[in-house]
């Protein structure tokens, strides 16, 4: 699989995951890219953030990314055929003050992509909302929660530990509203079965 001008972020994630895995480099996809994948594109990120779980040399990382068609420019990797770029933020893998993150695996185009779970993707976006009042991140978390079964109790208890109980309540209210709108829209679009 190669990256083209029409490649989606999901497809770019699969190409990068394949290139890194082929080079023996372990990394977890985090940040807005996960929200893009889990929200099925309702939220759009332009970059893919991966936290390294192994310790490749810079040369090995550059070579692996080059196999996927990316060239390092400063702190990011660019590809001539896509607007999506890749960054490797400094670890460890964490969400707020929580360091015990268990990554998930998602098959995309036959490639095993290691990324945050849907619940952790919500928490990751909520961390930006809680700490920087980033409302776009709140909407991204809602978009993920509406489309996936997320562990709201786990998100609530983590939010309390982050000192963001009020922020969690706003998130939970937004999720309830979005789910109700989605159900209502689903009923309107279902065929009329009456005779």
Interval 113-139: pLDDT, tens: 999 999 999 999 999 999 999 999 999
pLDDT at 195: 37
On whether both 96 and 16 belong to a single domain, the answer is: yes
Residue 191 pLDDT greater than 60, yes or no: no
Same domain, 20 and 36: yes
Same-domain pairing of 60 and 153: no
Inside any domain, residue 195: no
State the burial class of residue 150 (Cβ atoms within 10 Å of its Cβ: 0-12, 13-18, 19+): buried
185, pLDDT greater than 90: no
Same domain? 31 vs 44: yes
Is residue 103 located within the same domain as residue 19?
A: yes
pLDDT at 188: 74
First to last CA, the chain: 50
Q: Which domain holds residue 71?
A: 9-115
**Helix or strand or coil: residue 71?**
strand
pLDDT value of position 54: 96
- The beta strands (E) that lie in 25-182 are given as 27-30, 47-52, 71-73, 76-78, 85-87, 104-108, 111-115
Same domain membership, residue 25 and residue 107: yes
What would the pLDDT profile of 13-64 be if each residue is shown by its tens digit? Answer: 999 999 999 999 999 999 999 999 999 999 999 999 999 999 999 999 999 9
Domain co-membership, 19 together with 53: yes
Instruction: Look up the pTM and report it.
Output: 0.92
CATH number of the domain within which 27 lies: 3.30.460
Q: Give how many domains the chain has, as a whole number.
A: 2
């Amino acid at each position: 699989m190669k990256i083209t001008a029409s490649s989606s972020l999901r497809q770019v994630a699969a190409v990068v995951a394949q290139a890194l895995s082929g080079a023996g480099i372990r990394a977890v996809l985090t940040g807005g890219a996960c929200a893009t994948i889990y929200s099925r594109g309702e939220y759009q990120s332009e970059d893919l953030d991966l936290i390294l779980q192994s310790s490749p040399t810079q040369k090995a990382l550059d070579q692996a990314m080059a196999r996927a068609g990316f060239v390092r420019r400063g702190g990011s990797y660019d590809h001539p055929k896509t607007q999506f770029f890749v960054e490797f933020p400094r670890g460890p893998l964490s969400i707020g003050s929580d360091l015990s993150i268990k990554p998930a695996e998602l098959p995309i185009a036959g490639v095993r992509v290691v990324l945050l779970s849907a619940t952790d993707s919500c928490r990751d976006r909520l961390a930006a909302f809680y700490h920087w009042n980033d409302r776009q991140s709140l909407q991204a978390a809602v978009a993920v929660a509406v489309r996936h079964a997320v562990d709201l109790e786990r998100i609530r208890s983590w939010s309390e530990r982050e000192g963001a109980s009020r922020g969690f309540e706003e998130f939970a209210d937004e999720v309830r509203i979005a789910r109700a709108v989605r159900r209502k829209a689903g009923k309107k679009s279902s065929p009329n079965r009456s005779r």
